[in-house]
A and B are shown apart, each in its own frame.
Chain A
Amino acid sequence: MSHHIVEVKNLRHVYPDGTIAIIDVSFRITHGESVAIIGANGAGKSTLLQHLNGCLEPTGGDILIGDTPLSKSTLPDIRRTVGMLFQNPDDQLFMPTVFDDVAFGPLNLGLTVEHIEKRVADALDLVGAGHLRDKPPYHLSGGEKKRVAIATVLAMSPDILVMDEPTSGLDPFARRQLMNLLRGFHHTKIFTSHDLDMVLELCGRTIILHEGLIMADAPTAEIFRNEELLSACRLEKPLSMQGCPLCRQTPST
């Protein structure tokens, strides 16, 4: 299915205040790929992701989802295809209760009321937040908010998952749960993360973004072995590749 291809051509983004967040970025992600976009704080990762479902308008360049170029007229369809998790869950949750919030997307997709109940329950169970359904989102802990935000995206069963730091703020168990969940999601997924161990486990391909430019785009294992590149981009190896801090042994990779 060519529907799940994400192509970015010469993307450039300048914020209204003149900050050039993305200078020139191009890549093509094909169906079923799992791609990590990593880079230092302020490298432009969130800015890049927000273009993928039209939350930000490019200053220059094009974005194609499947064969469809992203434009005003195709936007509703593209937003149905691309599920987007924002970095800050507070931006994502706006309804009075968790249930209403998760139901918001499916209701907009035109699902009938009988189906909604199950959709919402399933999505909440997937992230282990079933017990929160009647709580107001603003009464949740940070990690709980994150999980509910993830549920709101999953409930729409998107073809392409785009997530901005999905594991930040999650406890180890919830993080593991989410990673298993993502591994089971066989469509295209793209996410940014500072959790490099997760990147190592989940993503076959990694793109390094540095000051608005792509510094590397290669298989993950290859990238994490290139220490020079990593340190030039304010990154380092995943902890699991750094050896045991107690016995100071480097693993043989």
Chain B
Amino acid sequence: MISINAAIIDLKRLELLAGRYSPIHVLDARVKVLVTLVFIVSVVSFGRYELVRLLPFFIFPAVMIPLANLPTLYLARKIALLSPFVLMVGLFNPVFDRNALYQFGQLGISGGWISLASLLIRSLLTVGAAFILVGTTGFTSVCQAVERLGIPRIFAVQLLFLHRYIFVLADETGTAARARELRSCGKRGLGVVSFGSQMGHLLLRTWQRAERIHTAMLARGFVGEFHSHRQSRFGVSELCFLLGWLSLFIALRYYDIPGALGEFVTGTAP
């Protein structure tokens, strides 16, 4: 089960990226949260058959990743890991939705396929944006920002603990899986029965561990407030970042820029 462990360590790497320094990293967390939120909303709010107009949104990751000095390949792999789930969700679209939406001579492309592709692109964009946010900001700072933006503290704390709990669960799964592997001598352990009890055991263990970590946080003065040692203020660069991206997203959302561009190049009205 080395693979499970490796996957967890890999996931934690995302968090580590937030410790780097770059023009994006030093920005106030709140603007990054806001921009990401608006980005996600604009991408998600397109109709289900939209394809072409989503493409310009790739400019956001294309600009942010190099600027923030994030490892492209690593992010791509993380996002690719999620695509099977998206495929599962959209799998039946082509089966049920057979209305031909585009016609290339004899070949008709059904709405189902288009909506599947659209779903894929959208998940790529939104998950990518979320990863970029965490990779440039760190989850604690994201929670802190969410609170400073006016969300009740209790929700922000919940969010933080959920995030921590995922790591704890992953950790415990990793060690339990290794212990099982080492003692099952290459066989599959004791089969389903032991697997069931192991799962229950795992839940209890993670619960206890999460509780102990919570105690450790309390023991060090945690009272539900977030602190970050990275000081940030809402300055000129924050304002530029915010206004720049927001106006771009809104423009892309409300005006058909690819269409206009195509019109301009081919010189024909649709």
Contact residues in A for B171 (Cβ distance below 8 Å): 138
Contact with B along A67-108 (1 / 0, CB 8 A): 000000000100110001010100110111101100111011
Contact residues in A for B16 (Cβ distance below 8 Å): 96-97, 136
B223 and A108 contacting across the interface, CB-CB below 8 Å: yes
Q: Does B225 contact A (CB under 8 A)?
A: yes
Q: Please name the residue on chain A nearest to B164 by beta carbon.
A: A94
Q: Does B59 contact A (CB under 8 A)?
A: no
B216 and A103 contacting across the interface, CB-CB below 8 Å: no
CB-contact partner of A108 in B9, B12, B209, B222, under 8 A = B222
Minimum C-beta distance from B140 to chain A (A) = 8
A152 and B220 contacting across the interface, CB-CB below 8 Å: yes
Q: Does A20 contact B (CB under 8 A)?
A: no
Q: How many contacting A-B pairs (Cβ < 8 A)?
A: 70
Q: Does A1 contact B (CB under 8 A)?
A: no
Contact with B along A107-142 (1 / 0, CB 8 A): 111000100110000000000000000101011000
The distance in angstroms between the C-alpha atoms of A222 and B140, with both chains bound, is 51
Contact residues in B for A117 (Cβ distance below 8 Å): 229
The distance in angstroms between the C-alpha atoms of A100 and B229, with both chains bound, is 8
Contact with A along B28-49 (1 / 0, CB 8 A): 0000000000000000000000
Q: Please name the residue on chain A nearest to B215 by beta carbon.
A: A55
Contact residues in B for A113 (Cβ distance below 8 Å): 229, 231
Q: Please name the residue on chain A nearest to B175 by beta carbon.
A: A90
Q: Does B221 contact A (CB under 8 A)?
A: yes
Known interface pairs A76-B221, A96-B12, A105-B221; A86-B227 also in contact (CB < 8 Å) = no
Minimum C-beta distance from A96 to chain B (A) = 4
Q: Please name the residue on chain B nearest to A79 by beta carbon.
A: B219
B212 and A91 contacting across the interface, CB-CB below 8 Å: yes
Q: Does A21 contact B (CB under 8 A)?
A: no
Contact residues in A for B231 (Cβ distance below 8 Å): 113
B221 and A109 contacting across the interface, CB-CB below 8 Å: yes
Known interface pairs A97-B19, A108-B227; A156-B220 also in contact (CB < 8 Å) = yes
Contact residues in B for A104 (Cβ distance below 8 Å): 217, 220, 222, 227
Chain A at the B interface: SS class:
helix
Q: Does B18 contact A (CB under 8 A)?
A: yes
The distance in angstroms between the C-alpha atoms of A53 and B216, with both chains bound, is 11
A108 and B220 contacting across the interface, CB-CB below 8 Å: yes
A91 and B9 contacting across the interface, CB-CB below 8 Å: no
Q: Does B15 contact A (CB under 8 A)?
A: yes
CB-contact partner of A76 in B18, B223, B228, under 8 A = B223
The distance in angstroms between the C-alpha atoms of A84 and B216, with both chains bound, is 9
Minimum C-beta distance from B152 to chain A (A) = 20
A91 and B227 contacting across the interface, CB-CB below 8 Å: no
Q: Please name the residue on chain A nearest to B168 by beta carbon.
A: A94
Q: Which of B4-26 contact A (CB under 8 A)?
A: 9, 12, 15-16, 18-19
The distance in angstroms between the C-alpha atoms of A222 and B15, with both chains bound, is 52
The distance in angstroms between the C-alpha atoms of A99 and B222, with both chains bound, is 17
B219 and A55 contacting across the interface, CB-CB below 8 Å: yes
CB-contact partner of A156 in B9, B138, B221, B223, under 8 A = B221
The distance in angstroms between the C-alpha atoms of A95 and B141, with both chains bound, is 12
Contact residues in B for A79 (Cβ distance below 8 Å): 218-221
B223 and A92 contacting across the interface, CB-CB below 8 Å: no
B138 and A96 contacting across the interface, CB-CB below 8 Å: yes
Q: Does B213 contact A (CB under 8 A)?
A: yes
Minimum C-beta distance from A58 to chain B (A) = 15
The distance in angstroms between the C-alpha atoms of A216 and B18, with both chains bound, is 52
Which residues in B have some Cβ–Cβ distance to A below 8 Å?
9, 12, 15-16, 18-19, 138, 140, 164, 171, 209, 212-213, 215-223, 225, 227-229, 231
Cβ contacts A to B, 29 pairs, < 8 Å? A55-B215, A55-B218, A76-B221, A76-B223, A79-B218, A79-B219, A86-B212, A86-B216, A88-B212, A91-B212, A91-B213, A94-B217, A96-B12, A96-B16, A96-B19, A96-B138, A99-B229, A104-B222, A107-B228, A107-B229, A108-B220, A108-B221, A108-B222, A108-B227, A113-B229, A134-B19, A136-B12, A138-B171, A156-B220
Assuming A53-B219, A97-B16, A108-B221, what are 4 further A-B pairs, CB within 8 angstroms? A86-B212, A91-B215, A94-B213, A113-B231
